[in-house]
Structure 1
């Protein structure tokens, strides 16, 4: 993830590098600027809106949005408690939207989709749902603290029809821990908030690498099984 450096004036208005033009700036810097502007306009609710959007669009990094909420709170626009409250509420709202998508898709639609895909089988969906029914609680709670999965974990929870109260409780608890780490980092580090984003990037790269390795192994195993079946036929 690209390093981001942002300096704020006492009024919380973003001060861009160079002549003030946005040319040449990273999209993460623009995202940080937009997040601060949103929170300046509508207060802590803006932090909740921003983190809800982060849940719906995983490429938006919470490692940028959350420290901005802490930084804005440190400047006195709202309290640290309000930053934590609204970012957690935003996380839960965004997660429930994806949960609803999972409920709408359902195991039946996913099984039909898997049946049409060359390397997937309907039984893969059944095994996934069965696994989630056994371990879904831990998956949702800890998944809220893993980049990328923190958003996507809500979809299989909906497919498996996890009870709403349980999903909401686990999502809220996991989100509160994750949000607190990054909001506090922004609150305590101030304009050096980007330091925590750099370390969070390492975790994100590890997750992406693990997903890539897992996907490669799945494709290798499935192709190998398919070739063996054709050979025996």
Structure 2
């Protein structure tokens, strides 16, 4: 049984609870991608097995629950302890301490907006929550930005599966183009932030 078949079997057995569980794992365990989970759930909704709204709500709930959990870890524990834990056990979650350090650097340099866009970028969404907690970003603000990004991305994936689920090639083309657009937007945003900071320094 491959990964896609396993994901579909979980959803068939557990329904909305299975979707929420899988999206929780997507955020904690990156090799389980939302790009398979939500389109598959959306396709199931198009076949009448689930509802599209229910799929979206379940996906958002699981994703945000995982984000809050990872934020709590980053908030509660000292930096050294987190990095030691990741060095020892991160390989089982496909996470490296260097990746978390990079995410922490992005967060501290580019502000809270990286949380919003990070929820829509594979792998990044699994990493950005811990640095947000480590930086003691206000929880309500973290959840606000996380919710916006999560709702947009989860809804998009579910709708792609709902309307184009029978055309796998077209779905892959859509995901590829959208991912490229999001990355370009993030790069432009970072460039704009750096440019504004340089202007402030020059004025001062």
TM-score by length of 2: 0.70
Q: Distance in 2 between matches of 1:76 and 1:102?
A: 40
SS of equivalent to 2:136:
coil
CA offsets 1:68-102 (integer angstroms, 9 cap, x no match): 11011111112100010010011101112221222
Q: How does 1:60-209 map to 2 (within 5 A)?
A: 60-107=32-79, 109=81, 132=107, 135-193=110-168, 195-201=170-176
Determine which structure has more spread, i.e. the larger CA radius of gyration.
1
- Structure 1 gap segments, 5+ residues each: 1-28, 114-124, 209-233
CA contact (8 A) 1:64 1:197 kept: no
Deviates more, 1:99-108 or 1:58-67: 99-108
Aligned pair count reads: 169
Shift of 1:33: 1.3
Question: Is the 8 Å Cα contact of residues 147 and 207 (structure 1) preserved in structure 2?
Answer: no
Aligned residues: CA RMSD: 3.3
TM-score calculated relative to the size of structure 1: 0.62
**Alpha-carbon distance between aligned partners in 2 of 1:141 and 1:184, rounded to the nearest angstrom:** 20
Q: Which of these residues, 11, 16, 40, is aligned with residue 44 of structure 1?
A: 16
